[in-house]
């Protein structure tokens, strides 16, 4: 299994357990961000790259960064290079 890194250089595998509990609104926001990023990167939903992307999105969101524009701007450049 390959290891991917987020924009800050943190390894993304394994995702690990996150004690944060997300509300339905949070989950809808996370899904929308993930879907947008997935389209931008042209990753398939079942790829390791998509899993890494999802982990990176959750990490940023859990750390309090909930602006979808910021999250996408922070992550997309490094993930697009992995295509």
Q: What is the pLDDT of residue 41?
A: 93
Range of the domain at 69: 24-80
13 found inside a domain: no
Task: Report the number of distinct structural domains present in the chain.
Answer: 1
7 found inside a domain: no
3 found inside a domain: no
66 found inside a domain: yes
Q: Check if the beta carbon of residue 60 is closer than 8 Å to that of residue 71.
A: yes
11 found inside a domain: no
64 found inside a domain: yes
Q: Which residues, 6+ apart, have CB-to-CB distance to 19 below 8 Å?
A: none
Q: What is the pLDDT of residues 44-60, one digit of tens each?
A: 999 999 999 999 999 99
Indicate the pTM of the whole model.
Answer: 0.74
Q: What is the pLDDT of residues 16-36, one digit of tens each?
A: 444 467 889 999 999 999 999
């Amino acid at each position: 299994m390959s290891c991917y890194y987020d924009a800050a250089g943190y390894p993304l595998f394994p995702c690990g357990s996150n004690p944060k509990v997300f509300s339905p609104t949070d989950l809808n926001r996370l899904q929308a961000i993930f879907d947008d990023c997935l389209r931008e990167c042209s990753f398939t939903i079942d790829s390791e790259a998509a899993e890494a992307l999802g982990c990176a999105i959750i990490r940023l969101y859990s750390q309090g960064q909930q602006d979808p524009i910021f999250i996408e701007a922070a992550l997309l450049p490094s993930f697009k290079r992995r295509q």
